């Protein structure tokens, strides 16, 4: 259904589109005269889709606005709209039980605004409105509960924009969000309370030259509350609290806005059924220097990067331990806590090719330092009674800023606090282990992110061998992904004589290669002939090397650096036998090619090119260079 009206003041139109379940009733009324006024009510169940659009043009310009409701389940809707030559307004109140998405939006010139609310397997009550005149104003009040509830309010005019977002998994949300979009910029706000199994809140603002984002989340039964607002100066102001404790104050946000860079808090929460997590961060800067707050670590590595690192070569980070009555109250001596934190620091040090933490005494004991000031440039670990944060087990607070080097902000300071509400130990047996928690929190200090906050579809989220995942037991060593992430940031350790011979055997029409001399002896005992050392390869991963995978099937040993080739060989009957060693994928100083041949059901590898030519002359097919290895002699 569509309507139009024109007169001296301009032109206006309105239209509706309904796709309704047979159980749904709908009533619509229209009044015309100097504009178009329309109301609609509907109630029903099943699958329903409703759209309304209004538009107009006049002396002040043109506008368009629309509302949309898509629902599966019981629903009740009331809406109204008014459109005239130069302005229009549209509102709707929706109650849904089941799955639903409801939204209103408007556009006027280069300005636009959107309000959206979503529920999955739950209940949603939403009142939304949008009005377009000299500026666009939009807002919504949302109350919902279900498997998922989400709300967003966003606006844009030219290069300026703002986004307010909130979502909860298996819980409830009460939120008021709104945006005003005008030629001078965009302002927005949200007042939100979330309770559930996991939740997140964010507020972003952008001008033509600067940006700022404030965000918070939690995992594990808890709550998050935020009062946030943005203005045309691309600043976010307000506060965020998790489990009733304020983790990002208005003064913190203002200082981040004024100075640029960011301030981030990552922490563990003690729950009745295990350990949960939380994070709160603020980031501000020029658009050209922005870096991603979450960068992928690669499909074969379980790590996440969060956009900062120590950009000085061999930073030798000096840590401090606050020695006071709160530490003594844990039954820990300063020396015990110092040793546990130093061991965690040295574990990260040993994983990379730089000297991350201070030599000799990486942790200095002091009674004059504290973790309450993230702006003093001192990296402090301290035990504190967190009166307003009873569920917080421990947290790190990291400040970062310019210079940006290779896309990474520079860490300026990182503090770690341990909650004295809980019992700590250093014996590796009882209570909560200091070294394990310090190892995790120092991962944030050097630039690694949490895995448990990744999307549910990301397999890294479920790799619990990594210390950067959730705390579930004592873990004083790094997982392969932890180590790979640290190497990505700071480079690999320098190898120390870390190569061995690649022995070559032949028997039963099969060339066989191994770095294990006992395996050589066994193969020789069953009829394989030893043919010497083909070259030298690394038994463990070194900087710049890749795995040489080993397969066996149909009387043939097969070696490749291509994992898709491994998968294909496995699909046709080859058995995967692990990694033979590590070789270089391209030519390096002091390396030689390892040629690959195939013939008569046998894969043959050699560093001798005349041997390649001979094998080719008797029927072997040349298949290229498998990689590069170290020569004999």
- Name the strands in the sheet holding 529-537, side by side, starting at the edge strand that comes first in the sequence: 510-514, 500-507, 529-537
Q: Among 535, 527, 543, which residue's Cα sits nearest to residue 484?
A: 543
Q: What are phi and psi of 501, to 5 degrees?
A: -70, 140
Contacts of 450 (CB under 8 A, 6+ apart): 266, 277, 279, 304, 444, 468, 469, 470
Q: Which residues of 239-274 are buried (b: 16+ CB within 10 A; e: fewer)?
A: bbbbbebebbeeebbebbbebbbbbbbbbbbbbeee
Domains of the chain by range and CATH? Answer: 1-144 (no CATH), 319-490 (3.40.390.10), 500-629 (no CATH)
Ramachandran area for residue 574 (φ above 0: left; ψ -120 to 50: alpha; else beta): beta
Token representation of residue 611: 């041997």
Residues 371, 417: Cα–Cα separation, whole Å = 7
Residues 379, 320: Cα–Cα separation, whole Å = 6
Contacts of 68 (CB under 8 A, 6+ apart): 49, 50, 51, 52, 101, 102, 103, 104
Contacts of 396 (CB under 8 A, 6+ apart): 265, 266, 267, 414, 415, 416, 441, 442, 444, 445
Peptide bond into 193 cis (omega under 30): no
Q: How many C-beta atoms surround the C-beta of residue 361 within 10 A?
A: 12
Which pLDDT does position 6 carry in this prediction?
A: 60
The answer to whether 560 touches 568, Cβ cutoff 8 Å, is: no
Give per-residue pLDDT as tens, 131-144: 988 889 999 999 99
Low-confidence ranges of the chain (pLDDT < 70): 1-10, 33-34, 58-61, 85, 287-301, 430, 494-498, 633
3-state secondary structure at position 358:
coil
Q: Among 483, 210, 149, 488, which residue's Cα sits nearest to residue 349?
A: 483
The answer to whether 145 touches 123, Cβ cutoff 8 Å, is: yes
pTM beyond cutoff 0.95: no
Q: Among 238, 268, 176, which residue's Cα sits nearest to residue 452?
A: 268
Q: What is the dihedral of CA 341, 345, 351, 352, to 10 degrees?
A: 170
3-state secondary structure at position 434:
helix
Q: For residue 558, what are the CA distances in angstroms to 254, 499, 536?
A: 61, 21, 18
Which pLDDT does position 465 carry in this prediction?
A: 80
Q: What is the dihedral of CA 539, 542, 548, 549, to 10 degrees?
A: 80
Measured in whole angstroms, the distance separating CA 483 from the mean position of its chain's CA atoms is 18
Measured in whole angstroms, the distance separating CA 622 from the mean position of its chain's CA atoms is 44
The answer to whether 226 touches 239, Cβ cutoff 8 Å, is: yes
Instruction: Count how many residues are written for the chain.
Output: 633
Contacts of 225 (CB under 8 A, 6+ apart): 192, 193, 194, 240, 241, 244
Measured in whole angstroms, the distance separating CA 216 from the mean position of its chain's CA atoms is 12
| Max CA pair span of the chain | 103
Which pLDDT does position 288 carry in this prediction?
A: 56
Which pLDDT does position 124 carry in this prediction?
A: 96
Which pLDDT does position 60 carry in this prediction?
A: 63
3-state secondary structure at position 272:
coil
């Amino acid at each position: 259904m569509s309507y139009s009206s024109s007169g001296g003041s301009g032109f206006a139109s309105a239209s509706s589109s309904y796709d309704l379940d047979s159980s749904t009733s709908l009533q619509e009324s229209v009044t015309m005269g100097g504009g178009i006024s329309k109301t609609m009510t509907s109630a029903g169940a099943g699958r329903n889709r409703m759209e309304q659009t209004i538009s107009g043009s006049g002396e002040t310009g043109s506008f368009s606005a629309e509302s949309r409701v898509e629902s599966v389940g019981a629903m009740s809707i009331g809406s109204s709209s008014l459109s005239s030559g130069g302005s229009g307004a549209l509102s709707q109140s929706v109650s849904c039980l089941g799955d639903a998405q409801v939204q209103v939006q408007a556009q006027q010139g280069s300005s636009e605004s959107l309000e959206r609310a979503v529920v999955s397997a739950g209940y949603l009550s939403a009142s939304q409105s949008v009005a377009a005149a000299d500026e666009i104003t939009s807002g919504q009040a949302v109350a919902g509960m279900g498997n998922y509830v989400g709300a967003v309010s966003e606006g844009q005019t030219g290069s300026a924009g703002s986004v307010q977002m909130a979502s909860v998994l298996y819980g409830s949300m009460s939120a008021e969000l709104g945006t005003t979009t005008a030629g001078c910029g965009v302002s927005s706000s949200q007042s939100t309370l979330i309770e559930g199994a996991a939740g997140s809140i964010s507020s972003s603002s952008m001008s033509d030259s600067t940006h700022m984002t404030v965000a918070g989340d939690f995992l594990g039964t808890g709550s998050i509350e935020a009062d946030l607002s943005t203005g045309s100066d691309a600043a976010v102001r307000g506060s965020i609290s998790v489990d009733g404790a304020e983790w990002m104050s208005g003064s913190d946000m203002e200082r981040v806005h004024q100075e640029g860079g960011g301030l981030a808090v990552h922490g563990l929460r003690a729950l009745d059924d295990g350990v949960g997590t939380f994070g709160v961060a603020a980031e501000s800067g020029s658009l050209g220097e922005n870096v991603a707050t979450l960068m992928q670590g690669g499909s074969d590595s379980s790590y996440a990067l969060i956009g900062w690192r120590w950009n000085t070569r061999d930073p030798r980070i000096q840590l401090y331990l606050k020695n006071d009555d709160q530490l003594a109250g844990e039954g820990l001596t300063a020396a015990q806590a110092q040793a546990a934190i130093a061991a965690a620091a040295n574990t990260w040090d040993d994983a990379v090719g730089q000297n991350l933490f201070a030599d000799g005494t990486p942790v200095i004991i002091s009674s004059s330092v504290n973790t309450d000031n993230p702006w003093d440039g001192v990296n402090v670990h301290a035990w504190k009674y967190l009166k307003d944060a009873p569920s917080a087990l421990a947290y790190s607070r990291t400040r970062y800023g310019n210079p940006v080097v290779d896309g990474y902000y520079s860490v300026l300071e990182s503090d770690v606090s341990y909650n004295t509400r809980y019992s700590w130990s250093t014996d590796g047996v009882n209570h909560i282990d200091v070294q394990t928690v310090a190892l995790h929190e120092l991962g944030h200090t050097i630039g690694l992110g949490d895995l448990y906050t990744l999307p549910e579809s990301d397999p890294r989220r479920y790799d619990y061998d990594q210390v950067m995942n959730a705390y579930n037991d004592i873990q004083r060593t790094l997982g392969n992904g932890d180590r790979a992430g640290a190497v990505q940031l700071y480079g690999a350790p320098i190898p120390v004589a870390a190569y061995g011979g690649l022995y070559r055997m032949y028997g039963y029409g099969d060339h066989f290669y191994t770095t294990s001399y006992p395996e050589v002896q066994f193969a020789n005992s069953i009829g394989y002939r030893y043919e010497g050392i083909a070259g030298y390869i690394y038994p463990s991963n070194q900087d710049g090397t890749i795995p040489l995978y080993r397969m066996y099937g149909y009387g043939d040993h097969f070696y490749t650096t291509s994992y898709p080739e491994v998968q294909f060989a496995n699909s046709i009957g080859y058995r995967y036998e692990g990694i033979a060693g590590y070789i270089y994928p391209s030519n390096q100083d002091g390396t030689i090619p390892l040629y690959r041949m195939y013939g008569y059901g046998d894969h043959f590898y050699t560093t001798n090119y005349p041997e390649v030519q001979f094998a080719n002359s008797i029927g072997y097919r040349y298949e290229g260079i498998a990689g590069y290895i170290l020569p004999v002699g």
